[in-house]
Structure 1
Amino acid sequence: MTMLEGRTVLVTGASKGIGAAITTAMLDAGARVIAHYGRDRAGAEAAITSAPDRARLVSADFADPACIPAFWAEVCAEGLPDVLVNNAAIMRQAGGIADDAALWDDTWDEAWRINVLAPAQLMRLAVRDWLAAGRQGGIIGIGSWVTTRGTTNPGAIAYAATKAAIAAATKTVARNHAKDGILAYVIAPGVVATQMSVESAERTGGVAAVTAQLPMGEWVPPQEIAELAVFLASGRARHLTGATLDINGAAYIR
């Protein structure tokens, strides 16, 4: 499969879960991939094993948004990427309304920096550089169904709010830059088969209880999200720009 041959894709949070699946799928589709990771280099290395010759690993701690300009410069050392996949995010299982003030403040501060400021800065830099170079580009934001339905996990209130914020920013880019050939989409998964979702389920009745509420009786495989991201990265769905694409097995229909 060579749908993305000749295209370069930056995937943030490539070392585990959805990000790792997207990284592998982009490589399998023929793309060159810049795989971002925080501390888990081994996870990122595992995600690129199918085509290490077309992959490059770049590390950055998104908890410090001040690192983003230097990170972007390193990403672009061999040329501008064609597609930015804003996947990296954090979801703490505590820091909700019932928790103490210090934990609340720390959780919201961390979620704001990692889930909003860092990916927003990456979008800004990418769009500015695409415009300056007269290039088209694509942004794929990995959102969540909690941005529109809220979350039943009391500790994930900051996660839900910050994912909604970056989704709105992504859609704003889509509205303002469609005329420039810069396409932006949000993929909004439901319950995905990742460790993050397992940890969240433990706060809301357990894995079996969460699964029982799903019409398909199963969690969304990360590979299905990755396949959708590959299609969007191809640029074949230009008039989908600005769309939020739900992928939740009919668990939330709107």
Structure 2
Amino acid sequence: MASLFSLAGQTALVTGASRGLGRAIAVALAQAGATVLCASSSANGSNDTVAAIKEAGGKAGALAADLSSEAAVEQLAAQALAQGPVHILVNCGGTIFRAPAHQFPMNEWHKVMAVNLDAAFLLSQRLGAEMIKRKQGKIINIASMLSYSGGITVPAYTASKHAIAGVTKALANEWAQHNIQVNAIAPGYFSTDNTAALQADTARNAAITARIPAGRWGEPEDLAGAAVFLASNAANYVNGHVLAVDGGWLAR
């Protein structure tokens, strides 16, 4: 049974791997046996993640790309593929901007959509084309609780995460015939940089925590099992699914 979850001999590209959820996922995939290409927005951004993986006996390398730039994303895909087949893609890199909808700056709207949606689609497209040729691949997108609800003062983020859920299903529909599984993880409320503003808002923090049956916010390591599952042979018949890892928030 353990072999179902082994990623030995696989190579994974994880964006947003410098910290938070991306780092936790990169470390988990490496622990399961994958060689992990850790991508971040700055040249040295993933060095700590790579070092942690190597210190634990895993294999990893660092890549960098500004996910808001289509040209940079194209280059990231090319650099990853130049190192050999990429069997697993995790689109975790993301950004958020908070402002009331009637005052939301369009430049921030475009940036959020470029990073959260366009980059994920383009990387899926480029790496997916190679997966189709090999008749094998796993793509994991990072959705959100805001793939289900509207949120407050984050219209661009909400739109991008609804779209991620839709793209996940659309790609699964097209690529399942090629033995490619495209799924998403929808994290609940996790303690990361992206949620710093919510954590600092005493009233919102309390309201959110009260709704979570587990009684606490998630820690990045809480995503490890879900990521390894969706990247492994254990999920070979799971496709187009958005897996909530939320401590029961959606069920409340």
Question: Does the TM-score normalized on the shorter chain lie above 0.5?
Answer: yes
Q: How does 1:107-122 map to 2 (within 5 A)?
A: 107-122=108-123
The letter of the residue matching 1:90 is T
Residue 202 (structure 1) shift: 4.0
Conserved 8 A contact 1:82-1:138: yes
Q: How does 1:159-178 map to 2 (within 5 A)?
A: 159-178=157-176
Residue 201 (structure 1) shift: 4.0
Q: What's 1:106 paired with? A: 107
Structure 1 residue 20 and structure 2 residue 23: aligned?
yes
Conserved 8 A contact 1:185-1:244: yes
Residue 40 (structure 1) shift: 7.0
Structure 1 residue 75 and structure 2 residue 80: aligned?
yes
Q: What's 1:4 paired with? A: 7
The letter of the residue matching 1:71 is L
Conserved 8 A contact 1:38-1:62: yes
Q: Distance in 2 between matches of 1:205 and 1:16?
A: 26
Secondary structure at the counterpart of residue 183 of structure 1? strand
Q: Distance in 1 between matches of 2:237 and 2:202?
A: 38
Q: What's 1:141 paired with? A: 141
Q: Distance in 1 between matches of 2:191 and 2:68?
A: 25
Q: How does 1:23-38 map to 2 (within 5 A)?
A: 23-38=26-41
Q: Distance in 1 between matches of 2:169 and 2:40?
A: 25
Conserved 8 A contact 1:171-1:184: yes
Q: Distance in 2 between matches of 1:56 and 1:48?
A: 6
Q: What's 2:48 paired with? A: 46
CA RMSD of aligned residues (A): 2.0
The letter of the residue matching 1:251 is W
Conserved 8 A contact 2:22-2:92: yes
Conserved 8 A contact 1:187-1:246: yes
Conserved 8 A contact 1:64-1:113: yes
Q: Which ranges of 4 or more aligned residues in structure 1 deviate by more than 6 Å? A: none
Q: Distance in 1 between matches of 2:157 and 2:43?
A: 21
Conserved 8 A contact 1:28-1:50: no
Q: 1:51 to 1:247 in 2, by over 3 A?
A: closer
Structure 1 residue 127 and structure 2 residue 128: aligned?
yes
Conserved 8 A contact 2:141-2:183: yes
Q: What's 1:231 paired with? A: 229
Q: What's 2:63 paired with? A: 58
Q: Distance in 1 between matches of 2:196 and 2:115?
A: 21
C-alpha offsets along residues 103-162 of structure 1, whole Å, 9 cap, x if unaligned?
42122111111111111100111111222x3330010011001111221x32x1110101
Residue 47 (structure 1) shift: 1.8
C-alpha offsets along residues 11-36 of structure 1, whole Å, 9 cap, x if unaligned?
00000110010111111111100000
Residue 165 (structure 1) shift: 1.0
Identity %: 32
Secondary structure at the counterpart of residue 13 of structure 1? coil
Conserved 8 A contact 1:188-1:244: yes
Structure 1 residue 85 and structure 2 residue 90: aligned?
yes
Residue 38 (structure 1) shift: 0.4
Q: Which moved more, 1:223-232 or 1:177-186?
A: 223-232
Secondary structure at the counterpart of residue 95 of structure 2? coil
Number of residue-to-residue matches in the alignment: 246
